[in-house]
Amino acid sequence: MDIPSRYEPAKAEDKWYSYWMRHGFFRSVPDEREPYTIVIPPPNVTGVLHMGHMLNNTIQDVLIRRARMQGRNACWVPGTDHASIATEARVVSMLKSRGIEKKDLSREEFLEHAWEWTHKHGGIILEQLKKLGASCDWERTLFTMDAERYESVIRVFVDLYNKGLVYRGVRMVNWDPQAQTAVSDEEVYFTEEDSLLYYVKYKIVGWNDYVTVATTRPETILGDTAVCANPADERYRHLRGRKVIVPMVNREVPFIFDDYVDMEFGTGCLKITPAHDINDYEIGLRHGLQSIDIFNDDGTLNQNAELFVGADRFAARDLAEAELKKGNSLVRVLPYKNKIGRSERTHAVIEPRLSTQWFLKMKDISRPALDAVTGGDIQLYPSKFKNLYRHWMENVHDWCISRQLWWGHRIPAWYFNDGEFVVAPSEEEALEMAREKSGNRNLTAQDLRQDEDVLDTWFSSWLWPITSFDGINQPDNPDLKYYYPTNDLITAPEILFFWVARMIIAGFEYQGEKPFHNVYLTGLVRDQQRRKMSKSLGNSPEPLDLIAKFGADGVRVGMLLCSPAGNDLLYDDSLPEQGRNFANKIWNAFRLVKSWTVGADEAQPASSALAVKWMREAIGQGIAQIDSDFRRFRISEALMTVYKLFWDDFSGWYLEIVKPEYGKPVDRASYDASISFFDTLLRLIHPFMPFISEEIWQLLDERKDGESIMVSRMPEPGKFSRELISGFETVKETVTAIRSLRKERNIPSGEKIMLFARPAGTFAGEEFFPVIIRLCNLADLAKVDSRQEDAVSFMVGTTEFYVPLGGKIDIEGEIARIREDLRYHRGFLESVMKKLNNERFVQNAPSPVLDLERKKKSDAEQKIKSLEERLRGLGDQGESLVTK
RNA sequence: GGGCGAUUAGCUCAGUUGGUUCAGAGCAUAUGCCUUACAAGCAUAGGGUCGGGGGUUCGACUCCCUCAUCGCCCA
């Protein structure tokens, strides 16, 4: 058979992915089997695959493929997220590049563009996932804004409103006066900028005295409604209960005290403008202050300001400075550096502004979600996130669910008359309710005005595990009953609160049941300098290029190898390279086995029979280890177990023992065992490396169309012999020692040598002597009961081995080596004796620990005795008499 | 400012309730090998006072205190 010595992934990958699709292996419908369900964390609909997705989806695919092979009905639901902020921003900039401004479009026109964009770019990312090997049930592909999901979100909003959990409230938002929209906290960046600190005098009412306040924004003095000091500040204690006069507008405002004020900063005296600063706003709430909003949407001053109406906020600052100077209120102006928030989109300075928003009350609704995690009903991996979760849930704030955007689920509230509103699932129902509420039967749809805002993206994705099975619209449908709760959720810790916690809340609120059993939190993919991978830094490799270069299997292995849960993954090309090398290793092991011809009359060598006997146990141990790794979600360790089992044990040891001499046939028993081991190992490998395992599995034996490793059974853990495995470990040690000895003494591997073993007690690897003979090219291995002359020796356990070398021994070197050994063992014995001579240790230590120490003592004494004997034999009298 | 977490080999990480010769793995490194499965390989070897200091204990990588450094979340 002519098989290339290098595995070529490209052809195999496309071939097998379409084979799997053709046979519907990814499809899941409810049946009598136990379900295993994962819902995908929906990527942004117009996004492209990045390294984070690669990691995340590889893990999901590993879990889903393993569950499928364990005989469960595995269902992985794919889908995409409308991602209102990101998508709308992208559409806006796309339109801009065509010379179209959003503000010149109607809402309907804009949405048309947005949908067009979505249809054009939507789903690219899902196609990319197929290249990775993702075994999603593509017939179930969803979108957070498709008809069913849209309807679900609206229903939930209305329901929560009717339950009194949704309310309207005032909140400070980041206003971008240039784009004239609110932006989210994530879209604000801070820069340190040079500015000025103005010291301004406020007259005290009734006294001929002033207080001085330091501010960076004198124009907002026009909106001041208090002046505040720290209650512990002696300097202002006398002002308790007084009022002061705001300069320029001559408004009387109270002098108040609040712990928030930093006594060290400026004069220790702070002016309070609740409408234009988040901290002032909160102080205002605490003290019942009035808010005066002095800005228009575009950042110019409005009528409330009384002065400088129509001036831009920065022009107003200069005007205010002049006006204060004129009124003799300005004490001084100092240069000052402060942090300025700017809009990521327009770079305009953010103006904090009060606005009316929709909120969801979180306290009561989130209690079951808190208990589910703290009580262990839902497990987080790694568990260190549990504390974080609890802390957040215990201090949960109400959720602001409205966004000043067009792309998303439009808030189903309709306003009428002046300031009245109703919340309803449709305009018709809203109209009916409005008529009833107002008592005016003549209201028409024209009198209603729907809220302009949309809902926060997370307000749709928090329902994802439910809406994936249409559980809001059809609460008792068979899919939902079968698949919900889902099993595992794989996502990034950065959205533990935004998404995971809220899904748990929604799960209890709408299903009375958690949405998943386990949450596995992956790390962030970073580059070698620990920088987050991002498009703007240009430090993120193109995933599809990587797949082309290293193969999907190689990339998957690369992502998994160094990504223990919750740890950041420092990406480097050497990772997928290691994965590719592993694929190549598997490929070549296959080439070897496939090249063998079976000799009908060939007898099985003793060494081969022993290798088969050991390999069976080693695989048994591997399976058990992998099983336990998966149960604890140690996915990268499970992979490492498979990796070492295949590379070291199977390829490095087993095949080296069993493989026949070149051109000679192999015996039937060894051949069959090898094929069977290979088959088992491929199944263990399949979840991690679906393509190469399928490719080889198909070639390993005669297969019919429709057969596939992906629907074969995963080997199940059973009993295995630890004694046998540890016996073989001593064989490995012995073989390594002989190889090392050959290397040190320049004995070519082709030259046959003799080996004597002199066990004190039993040598654990004794039954494997034929294996040692085979691997070390020995003339023979014989047991002796006395020391051998003219031989170099080494010890494995308590057994002494001798390689006779005639007169060629370097006695000096040998003595030095043995002395070194002796020193180590004497030191070790000493430390053991220290414990055993300590009465308190003997009294307090549990008996297994004590027994162990005694065994260590006798083993050490045994070794020391043989070493001393050996030294004497070499004629080294002096040192050997020095015993401690 | 409040909270959570981390610090173990050159790098990335394991180390389960304190007790095996327990200080480990993979990668990287060094040396020698193109030995007819694989140089994308094989063989062998060298790397660490477990962040610093103190304490509890017969015994500490593991528990407690403290300091230092770093990361994340919230404000």
Q: Which DSSP string do the residues of A431-463 spell out, in sequence order?
A: HHHHHHHHT-TT--GGG-EE-S-EE-THHHHTT
DSSP class of residue A408? S
The half-sphere exposure of A325 on its side-chain side, counting CA atoms within 13 A, is 9
Distance CA A311, CA A471 (A): 54
- Which residue type is seen at A622? G
Regions of chain A where pLDDT drops below 50: 1, 879-884
Phi and psi at A695, nearest 5°, equal -55, -50
Q: Report which of residues 591-650 in chain A place their beta carbon less than 7 angstroms from any atom of strand B.
A: 591-592, 595, 637, 640, 643-644, 647-648
Whether the link from the prior residue into A770 is cis, omega within 30° of 0, is no
Q: Are strands A516-521 and A379-381 parallel, antiparallel or unpaired?
A: parallel
Closest CA to A123 of A46, A8, A59: A46
Q: What is the pLDDT of residue A534?
A: 64
Distance CA A105, CA A87 (A): 17
Q: Report which of residues 202-221 in chain A place their beta carbon less than 7 angstroms from any atom of strand B.
A: none
Nucleic strand B within 7 A of Cβ A388? yes
Nearest protein residue to B20's C1' (by CA)?
Answer: A852
Nucleic strand B within 7 A of Cβ A10? no
Other CB atoms within 10 Å distance of the CB of residue A708: 18
Q: Of all nucleotides in the shown strands, which has a C1' nearest the CA of A569?
A: B12
The half-sphere exposure of A538 on its side-chain side, counting CA atoms within 13 A, is 0
Q: List Cα–Cα distances, A245 to A235, A256, A261, A774, in angstroms.
A: 19, 13, 20, 100
Handedness of CA A727, A733, A736, A737 (dihedral sign): negative
- Note whether A263 and A339 are within 8 A (CB): no
Distance from CA(A202) to C1'(B61), angstroms, rounded: 62
Closest CA to A553 of A11, A3, A13: A13
Nearest protein residue to B37's C1' (by CA)?
Answer: A592
Distance from CA(A108) to C1'(B38), angstroms, rounded: 62
Q: Report which of residues 152-191 in chain A place their beta carbon less than 7 angstroms from any atom of strand B.
A: 185
Q: Report which of residues 810-869 in chain A place their beta carbon less than 7 angstroms from any atom of strand B.
A: 824-825, 828, 832, 835, 838, 840-841, 844-846, 849, 852-853, 856, 859-860, 863
Distance from CA(A535) to C1'(B41), angstroms, rounded: 37
Q: Of all nucleotides in the shown strands, which has a C1' nearest the CA of A561?
A: B26
Q: Look up residue A665 and give its two tokens.
A: 């046939």
pTM of the predicted protein model: 0.89
Nucleotides of B under 7 A from a protein CB: 3-6, 11-14, 19-21, 25-28, 35-45, 57-59, 72-75
Phi and psi at A271, nearest 5°, equal -85, 145
DSSP string, A761-792: S--TTGGGHHHHHHHHTEEEEEE-SSPPSSEE
Q: What is the pLDDT of residue A469?
A: 98
Distance from CA(A754) to C1'(B33), angstroms, rounded: 23
- Note whether A211 and A376 are within 8 A (CB): no
Q: What is the pLDDT of residue A879?
A: 46
Q: Are strands A142-143 and A79-80 parallel, antiparallel or unpaired?
A: parallel
Whether the link from the prior residue into A485 is cis, omega within 30° of 0, is yes
Nucleic strand B within 7 A of Cβ A749? yes
Q: Of all nucleotides in the shown strands, which has a C1' nearest the CA of A585?
A: B38
Q: Report which of residues 480-509 in chain A place their beta carbon less than 7 angstroms from any atom of strand B.
A: 493-494, 497
- Note whether A404 and A182 are within 8 A (CB): yes
- Note whether A484 and A474 are within 8 A (CB): no
Q: What is the pLDDT of residue A535?
A: 61
Strand runs labelled E in A205-327: 210-215, 226-229, 243-246, 251-257, 269-272
- Cβ neighbourhood burial of A675 (10 Å; 0-12, 13-18, 19+): middle
Closest CA to A19 of A649, A474, A698: A698
Nearest protein residue to B3's C1' (by CA)?
Answer: A391
Distance from CA(A283) to C1'(B75), angstroms, rounded: 14
Distance from CA(A570) to C1'(B11), angstroms, rounded: 10
Q: What is the pLDDT of residue A884?
A: 35
Phi and psi at A417, nearest 5°, equal 45, -125
Nucleic strand B within 7 A of Cβ A739? yes
Distance from CA(A858) to C1'(B61), angstroms, rounded: 28
Nearest protein residue to B74's C1' (by CA)?
Answer: A392
Distance CA A21, CA A4 (A): 27
Distance from CA(A729) to C1'(B62), angstroms, rounded: 28
